[in-house]
Amino acid sequence: MTKIWRETGFVENDAWIIESEEVKATGDQKPLLPLDELLAKVQESNDVGLGVLIKPADDVRKLEPYLDRLAIIAVAFPAFNDGRAFSHASLLRDRLDYKSELRAVGDVLIDQVPLMLRVGIDSFAVANETALKRLSENRLPGIQHHYQPAVRDADSGKGYSWRRQAKPAA
């Protein structure tokens, strides 16, 4: 069973679903549309409050003219070793200045959640039992040092990583 988690805890009655052959949005539910379907919909209508599912091979820059019409962007992590969604999230937050909800879906593992938070992902569709247990116990793994700047500052404070700091003069 998949649950939605944010830093404030688990979310009840989340409206967003990924449609499939077996699952369709009903009632108060809202679909996360594949990129091509979303692009077709925004060109045909003036709808706002839409949701989109970005897969690893998608070009998120195609969303730029429509970001103000999106309530949520879900970035897919189809496998733990496919990190393209990290790049999508960073591009959306840093360069495209996307401010609304950014969700990780797919293979969301507990050791990756702090890194996902750093690139601007703020909600997570979690199905992994270990991750669900650790999140319910509020036990995120800590990462003390970072090699690169990110959307979110490192725990030690504002600035770049410890490796990029200037060394004191001798």
* pTM score: 0.83
- 29-41 residue pLDDT tens: 999 999 999 999 9
In tens, the pLDDT along 97-121 reads 999 999 999 999 999 998 899 899 9
Give me the pLDDT at residue 21, please: 79
| Cα gap 42→22, rounded to integer Å | 25
Tens of pLDDT, residue by residue over 151-169, are 665 555 544 444 444 455 5
C-alpha dist (Å) from residue 125 to 25, 78, 122? 17, 12, 11
Hey, what domains does the chain have and what are their CATH numbers?
3-141 (3.20.20)
What tens digit of pLDDT does each residue of 49-76 get? 999 999 999 999 999 999 999 999 999 9
Instruction: Give me the pLDDT at residue 1, please.
Output: 81
Q: For 138-161, what is the mean pLDDT?
A: 60
